[in-house]
Amino acid sequence: MKGNTPGSLRVLIADDNRDGADSCAILLQQDGHAVCVAYSGEDALALGARFRPQLMLVDLAMPGMDGYSVARQVRDCEWGSAVILVAVSGQGGDDLRRRLRDSGFDHHLVKPVEIDSLRALLKECAYLQG
| Digit-coded pLDDT (tens) for 9-33 | 999 999 999 999 999 999 999 999 9
Give a yes or no: residue 83 inside a domain.
yes
Average pLDDT over residues 77-102: 92
Phi-psi region of 18 (alpha: psi -120 to 50; beta: other; left: phi over 0): alpha
Residue 3 has pLDDT above 70, yes or no: no
Give a yes or no: residue 5 inside a domain.
no
Q: Does residue 112 have a cis peptide bond before it, meaning omega lies within 30 degrees of 0?
A: yes
Instruction: Give the chain's domain count.
Output: 1
Give a yes or no: residue 112 inside a domain.
yes
The pLDDT of residue 94 is: 83
Any idea how long the chain is?
130
Give a yes or no: residue 17 inside a domain.
yes
67: nearest Cα among 125, 14, 10, 11: 14
Alpha-carbon distance of 11 to 88, in angstroms, equals 14
Confidence bin at 102 (pLDDT 50/70/90): very high
For residue 109, the enclosing domain spans: 10-129
pLDDT digits (tens, 9 = 90+) for 35-61: 999 999 999 999 999 999 999 999 999
Give a yes or no: residue 90 inside a domain.
yes
Give a yes or no: residue 114 inside a domain.
yes
Give a yes or no: residue 45 inside a domain.
yes
What mean pLDDT value characterizes the chain? 93
The pLDDT of residue 1 is: 41
Give a yes or no: residue 2 inside a domain.
no
Alpha-carbon distance of 12 to 68, in angstroms, equals 16
- Domain with 43 in it: what CATH number? 3.40.50.2300
Alpha-carbon distance of 6 to 87, in angstroms, equals 25
Distance of CA 115 to the CA centre of its chain: 14
This prediction has a pTM of 0.93
